Structure 1
Amino acid sequence: MSDFTVVGLRVVREAAACGSFSTAAENLGYTQSAVSRQIALMEQAAGRALFERHARGVRPTEAGRIVLRHAEVVLGELDNARLDIRHLAARPPGRLRVGAFSTAMAALVPRAIAEVAARDQPARIALREGVSPRLLTAVARQRLDLAVVTDPDASQAGVEIEILLDDPLLVALAPTHPLAGATRATPEMLRDQRWIAGSQEPDSTLLGAWRDAEWEPDIAFVARDWFAKIGLVSAGLGITVVPGIAVPVLPPTVALLRIDHPAAVRRTAIAHRRNDPRDAALRQSFAEALRDRAAELSAEVRHRLR
């Protein structure tokens, strides 16, 4: 029986995220045959099929989802090991290590950095983009000083959570779309639409935040990059869900409407270690800037949806 390998686990993770072996190959810079070979080796190691093959792509089996959960942990720890090696030298004073999920990096975090730079002494701010569970782990293990995360209930020992905002989930669509003139839409109004998502698995995307068990979205295109999603939307090829904090960087080639559903929000929070004296003043200053900019972004969302 084969053993699980780091390369194989990365391929499995990418294939699951893309819902396609060919797209995974493109993203990883491999040939499709190389990806198929790695998947076959990982299935041999598992002793079971990890993916269901369909005409429109692939999706993880139950065994595949188990492997994916463990792959996230293993690959996350390896990434953390690389960061630890890079930071073997003592961390100089006046440096803040900040993590955030991708759409928080679009406007919220850059604006907070600009505010801190304008009102404080020059400071080095190192950025790390990632998914919230990994960012929380990094804060808990003192690899990050502060992180902007979602799903703040999934906290870890020693980590303090401060809610920033309940960020509304919006639908982005082409200006020519029949719903473009509306300000909000119910889930029922969106059921027959073609969707653009980051994965074929709705539960792993923003679609999972508000859909119900009776509705299986028609995912026409899978794109992980936000620019690719917005490009597909602008071309009228489908609609996608975007968080409110991304609104300031969205082009005028898309229209927006609010999803009229109580679960169509994503709670966003600041995470930092309790009673950590290192660069406490700078960390507090950055947290204050995040609070200011979060309020500003909320006002911009309300204005654009008028």
Structure 2
Amino acid sequence: MLDSHSLYEVFLRVAQDGSFTAAARGLGYTQSAVSRQIQALEEEWGAALFDRLPRGVRLTEAGRVLLPHAQGMRDRLRAARAELDELRSLGGGTLRIGAFATADVSLVPRAVSAFGARHPGVTVVHTEGPTAKHVALLAEGGLDVAVLSAPDGTPLTGPELHFLLDEPMYVALPRGHRFAGRARLRVAELADESWIEGDVRPDRTLLAPALADGFRPRVAFRVNDWTAKLGFVAADLGITVLPALAAGAARADIALVPVDPADLPHRKVYAATPRGCTRSPAATAFLTDLRRAAESAAAVRPSGRERRLMTENARL
């Protein structure tokens, strides 16, 4: 049985050709099938749509009234098909993504760049913010893909998770700091330091895992922006924890030293999609680009420039 859309296509073809036989030939149907479909449409509307003449058919008044509506329905459905084809082929549509701040330093931009190069017709809409915000947006249907973070052992519930990487932690120090040349640091060695963090309460910062062993850092300045934090460090006003994903933004006048994972465990980074929802072709393709970006060595280690700085500091 044909759906209403197919019935209207038949109606429009008969109106165009003025003949059941010609319309059937053009549509690849039998003449009797076309006749039955027009009869079904007439029964649906409760009116004759064509006058059956000795040579062909002609629209009745009811048929002339229906004609522009059938044409509009056909055009709207054709437009809908074209848009759906674009979504399937990634020739159009929108991809809504979200990420926490340090993921936006290198990981997400590389993935977005790769995605855009392959699918320039897709509009990418980006939101930045903490993981909790993006978990809520995923649940509300406000995002297609989010990049989330969780300290080691901290469960993330709600969205469907796709593991990307384990992210080490570094401490950012002024170039002339006594520990600038070290290969690794324990947080206990930094007990007397002033810290630049995003909250005056250490339990709300990346230092939180170290508090279990009695470490009590003194937060001298509360600074949220990562670039500003590094500016404070460079001015010798304190030190800060820098996640590996942000290492690419490190300045030339600071040094990065890995923190022992026994004190600050590696942070797990995930891509996330709404649980139980159909994933769009664009979201599926972007997940692939995120995985490739996460596999890059530069995503989880300092760049060559930062490694050179560490070596130079070791010689001071």
Work out whether the TM-score is over 0.5.
Answer: yes
Supply the distance in 2 between the matched residues of 1:134 and 1:299 (Cα, whole angstroms). 24
Give the direction of change, closer, same or farther, for the CA distance of 1:210–1:291 in structure 2 (3 Å limit).
Answer: farther
Q: Provide, for residues 72-104 of structure 1, a one-character-per-residue CA deviation record: whole Å limited to 9, x for no partner.
A: xxxxxxxxxxxxxxxxxxxx9521110111111
Q: Which protein has the larger Cα radius of gyration, Structure 1 or Structure 2?
A: 2
CA shift, 1:137, in A, is: 1.4
Supply the distance in 2 between the matched residues of 1:272 and 1:242 (Cα, whole angstroms). 27
Counterpart residue type for residue 147 of structure 1: A
Q: Provide, for residues 153-178 of structure 1, a one-character-per-residue CA deviation record: whole Å limited to 9, x for no partner.
A: 2211xx21011111001100111001
Q: Superposition RMSD on alpha carbons, in Å?
A: 2.0
TM-score (ref. length: structure 1): 0.65
Counterpart residue type for residue 183 of structure 1: A
TM-score (ref. length: structure 2): 0.63
Range 115-124 or range 103-112, more displaced: 115-124
SS across alignment from 2:212: coil
Counterpart residue type for residue 208 of structure 2: G
Correspondent of 1:154 among 144, 153, 156: 156
Q: What is aligned with 2:113?
A: 114
Equivalent residues of 2:106, 2:299 under 8 A apart: no
Q: What is aligned with 1:66?
A: none
Counterpart residue type for residue 264 of structure 1: P
Q: What is aligned with 2:266?
A: 265
Q: Which consecutive unaligned segments of at least 5 residues does structure 2 have? A: 1-86, 312-316
Equivalent residues of 2:173, 2:256 under 8 A apart: yes
Q: What is aligned with 1:177?
A: 177
Equivalent residues of 2:103, 2:245 under 8 A apart: yes
Counterpart residue type for residue 145 of structure 1: D
Supply the distance in 2 between the matched residues of 1:302 and 1:110 (Cα, whole angstroms). 16
Give runs of aligned pairs for residues 1-306 of structure 1, distance below 5 A: 94-151=93-150, 153-156=155-158, 159-262=159-262, 263-274=264-275, 276-277=277-278, 280-296=280-296, 297-298=298-299, 300-301=301-302, 304-305=306-307
Equivalent residues of 1:187, 1:211 under 8 A apart: no
SS across alignment from 1:215: coil
CA shift, 1:298, in A, is: 3.8
CA shift, 1:213, in A, is: 4.6
Equivalent residues of 1:209, 1:265 under 8 A apart: no
Q: Which consecutive unaligned segments of at least 5 residues does structure 1 have? A: 1-91
SS across alignment from 1:212: helix
CA shift, 1:182, in A, is: 1.1
CA shift, 1:277, in A, is: 3.2
Q: Provide, for residues 119-178 of structure 1, a one-character-per-residue CA deviation record: whole Å limited to 9, x for no partner.
A: 22431111111111121111122111110011272211xx21011111001100111001
Counterpart residue type for residue 270 of structure 1: A
CA shift, 1:183, in A, is: 2.0
